[in-house]
């Protein structure tokens, strides 16, 4: 059986770096969400959204959560970088991702922080 191992070294401002490791088998789900903020220049809104996203780590089905912002890589026609904040989550199965979608913490996140964004795009990827 084929397994995928993802290793991310995450550096946190004001903290020492740490690594998280997720081992995902075929059938696992990568859940990528891109947010366009209502007020993209408001740093406090971006910080609030990231704070809210971090609460989703409290859902046991979330194997790993990674937050990000657009990278300042070379401008190319195929690169989309007009979004403000992203989250990438790893789930062991479609069923785990379904549990996450209906989980009270996820529903509370949407209710409490939904006013911050004007657009959200989701890509769900099933590993072969």
Flag whether 8 is in a domain. no
Looking at residue 24, what is its pLDDT?
Answer: 72
Higher-confidence position of 11 and 1: 1
- Give residue 25's pLDDT: 85
CATH of the domain at 105: 3.30.70.100
pLDDT tens profile 93-114: 999 999 999 999 999 999 999 9
DSSP per position, 3-65: -EEEEEEE--TTS--EEEEEEE-TT-EEEEEEEEESSTT-HHHHHHHHHHHHGGGGSTT--EE
Domain region containing 83: 27-126
Q: What's the pLDDT band for 18 if we cut at 50, 70, 90?
A: very low
Per the prediction, the chain carries an average pLDDT of: 87
Average pLDDT over residues 75-79: 92
- Contact 11/17 with Cβ under 8 angstroms? yes
Residue 72 tokens read as 């300042």
Tell whether 7 is covered by a domain: no
Percentage of the chain beyond pLDDT 70 is 82
Confidence of residue 22 (pLDDT cuts 50, 70, 90): low
Within-domain flag for 105: yes
The count of structural domains within the chain is: 1
123 three-class SS: strand
Asked whether residue 71 is domain-assigned, the answer is: yes
Quick one: pLDDT at residue 94? 96
pLDDT-derived band at 91, boundaries 50, 70, 90: very high
């Amino acid at each position: 059986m084929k397994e995928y191992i993802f290793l991310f070294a995450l550096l946190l401002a004001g903290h020492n770096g740490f690594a998280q490791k997720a081992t995902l088998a075929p059938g696992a789900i990568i859940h990528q969400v891109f947010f366009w903020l209502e007020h993209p220049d408001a740093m406090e809104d971006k910080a609030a959204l990231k704070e809210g996203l971090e609460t989703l780590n409290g859902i046991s089905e979330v194997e790993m959560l990674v937050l990000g912002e657009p990278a300042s890589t070379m401008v190319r026609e195929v690169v989309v970088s007009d979004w403000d904040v992203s989250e990438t989550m790893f789930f062991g199965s479609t069923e785990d991702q379904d549990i996450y979608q209906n989980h009270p913490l996820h529903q509370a996140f949407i209710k409490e922080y939904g006013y911050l964004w004007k657009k959200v795009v989701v890509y769900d990827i099933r590993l072969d």
